[in-house]
Amino acid sequence: MDLAPTPEQQAVQEQARRFLAAQVTRERRLAWDALPAGYDEDFWRQVSDLGWLGFGLPEAVGGQGASFLDLALLMEECGRAAAPLAIFASVAGGLALNALGSAAQKREWLPPVARGERRVALAVAERDAALVPAAFTTTVRKRGSQLRLAGEKTYVLQGVTADAFIVAARDGKGTSAVLVPADAPGVRVEAISSLARTPQSRVRFRDVALPQAALLGAPGSAWPKLEKLRRQLAALLCADLAGGADAVLAMTVAYVCEREQFGVKLGTFQAVQQLVANMAIDLEGARHVTRQACWMLAEGHKAEREVAIAKAWTARAYRDVTLLAHQLHGGAGYVVEHELHRHTFRAKVGELLLGSTEEWLEDLAGRLRLGPG
């Protein structure tokens, strides 16, 4: 197992880093905070032109055909720049449709998704961010020649910009997934205010009528594919978080090497050096477990244990790195306009998205057979 990026992968990362450094500036992000989408259309067009939104999709549907590890390295650069999570959300929607959709659904939706012309959002979690079928209250029932969808999904990433939702619902036998146009009668999207200013939504479905063709796969069979997809997306999210932690470490090293106290640089104090070293250890662990999980997924392995380790470690590491950075930045770290705050907010979102740290620790404990039976 070689976790080091190849020269080709390094070239993709460097190109992405240059583009994001030029486009995702402090001024633009502050302007984007006031927009419902969290970005402007000019930025979205440029990201689309680079092929990022279809980077991990097959070439047959207009994608770039990149490997899972290649996609993870791209997500790492997005996290480093604290780029809008809309990129991750669009990539996730495309991967979900590719994994669950029929041939006809893929032909209709994936080419415009890869071009950035359509946006598909995952709508799985419900109250209290529950991601297990037993907690779902959303239902889909067959009535005559139609399907009827009723319920509510929460914390839908980029729901306000979605053209369609992939909705997980109970059907009386199991869990089904359906593709629901955002403009279908009975669909209501409400923006949720969040500390991190990450566009999330509550989506209500009030007796929404859908054709049978809206089903993604066979009735009642969606959950194994959705759970596999959740682990893949969790690994990609870890790459984003590791990139963010790397950026925070870099800005902190630069600050303590420049800032003086009592006539000497902060970086010369032993206590400061040890805190920065702890940040570096957290980052190195996050990068290693994330790339290990992504490599195994790219090679076709299940990697259930590795993904659980990566999500539990990386989310916590990013959070801890930002907290130590605040301490080392002193008063400057508590100015909300400082770039460090954006990473702190992103770290909190990352902790909860696709399952909290505690949930992934419980998942790992179960695989270690720590409980009864």
Dihedral angle sign, alpha carbons of residues 67, 71, 74, 79: negative
The angle formed by the CA atoms of residues 121, 139 and 353, to the nearest 5 degrees, is 35
What φ, ψ does residue 115 adopt, rounded to 5°?
-85, -5
Which residues make Cβ contacts (< 8 Å) with residue 296, sequence separation at least 6?
Answer: 302, 303, 306
In the prediction, which pLDDT does 250 show? 97
Tens digit of pLDDT per residue, the chain (373 long)? 677 788 888 898 999 999 999 999 989 998 998 899 999 999 999 999 999 999 999 999 999 999 999 999 999 999 999 999 999 999 999 999 999 999 999 999 999 999 999 999 999 998 876 677 878 899 999 998 899 999 999 999 999 999 999 999 999 889 999 999 999 999 999 998 777 778 899 999 999 999 999 999 999 999 999 999 999 999 999 999 999 999 999 999 999 999 888 888 888 899 999 999 999 999 999 999 999 999 999 999 989 999 999 999 999 999 999 999 999 998 777 777 788 999 999 999 999 999 999 999 999 998 888 766 5
Residue 16 near residue 74 (C-beta atoms within 8 A):
yes
Give the total residue count for the chain: 373
In the prediction, which pLDDT does 198 show? 84
d(CA 369, CA 366): 5
d(CA 64, CA 66): 6
pTM of the model: 0.94
Residue 152 near residue 204 (C-beta atoms within 8 A):
yes
d(CA 117, CA 111): 9
The angle formed by the CA atoms of residues 248, 249 and 251, to the nearest 5 degrees, is 65
In the prediction, which pLDDT does 134 show? 79
Domains and CATH numbers, the chain: 7-118 (1.10.540.10), 121-219 (2.40.110.10), 223-367 (1.20.140.10)
Give the ranges where 195-300 is alpha helix by DSSP (H): 222-258, 270-298
